[in-house]
Amino acid sequence: MSSQEHNMPNIPVSETIETEEIETKIKDKATEVIDERDKRLTELEAQLAESKSSTRDIQLRAQAEIENIRRRTKLDIEKTHKFALERFISELLPVIDNLERALEIADKANPELIVMIEGIELTMKSLLNVVKKFGVEVISATNVLFNPEVHQAMTIVDSTDVEPNHVIMVMQKGYTLNSRLLRPAMVAVSKRENHPS
């Protein structure tokens, strides 16, 4: 007997085979459990990544929506400020017209009226300066091309002095508020004088 055989415990061969089979089954089962666990872990990691991506997407959309709301609100506030005076200025336009008419018909040759005329002129100038500070512009130029967006043609006049389709005379001034038309200028428009041949 060799020394190795001498040191081996006396375990029957069938028991050794059974033990090896059990160990193999345990290893196989453990490998199967580990594989299942790894598969489940991979699934959970994928779900977590998808959830993170979805959450990030939702967060980005919410931030974009908040920014859009801020921008729209700011624009709405600016628009409200810009045109809040529109109705008030529209009510002032007849007052400005009446002051202009008073100056047109005033007898500037009468020395007794000079002080009153100067007072009306100063009042008119002050009023126009105030409304100009708030974005009101006067439409009163002559010898400009007729623009239907800011002019209202009241009459057409034959003319050899002015190019056709140009404003010859302003009957009533027009006004804009921050580039928005309040009232068109009422004008006379030139037309080429027809000469019989």
pLDDT band for 1, please (50, 70, 90 cuts): very low
Rounded Cα distance between 31 and 39, Å, is 12
- In this prediction, residue 195 carries a pLDDT of 57
Q: What is the CATH number of domain 136-197?
A: 2.30.22.10
pLDDT band for 84, please (50, 70, 90 cuts): confident
pLDDT band for 155, please (50, 70, 90 cuts): very high
Coil, strand or helix at 171: strand
What's the CA angle centered on 17, arms 15 and 23, to 5 degrees?
100
pTM over 0.85: no
What's the CA angle centered on 181, arms 180 and 187, to 5 degrees?
150
Rounded Cα distance between 48 and 29, Å, is 28
Give mean pLDDT, residues 137-166: 92
Residue with tokens 């130029």: 141
Fold classification of 85-134 is Hemagglutinin Ectodomain; Chain B (3.90.20)
Rounded Cα distance between 12 and 158, Å, is 133
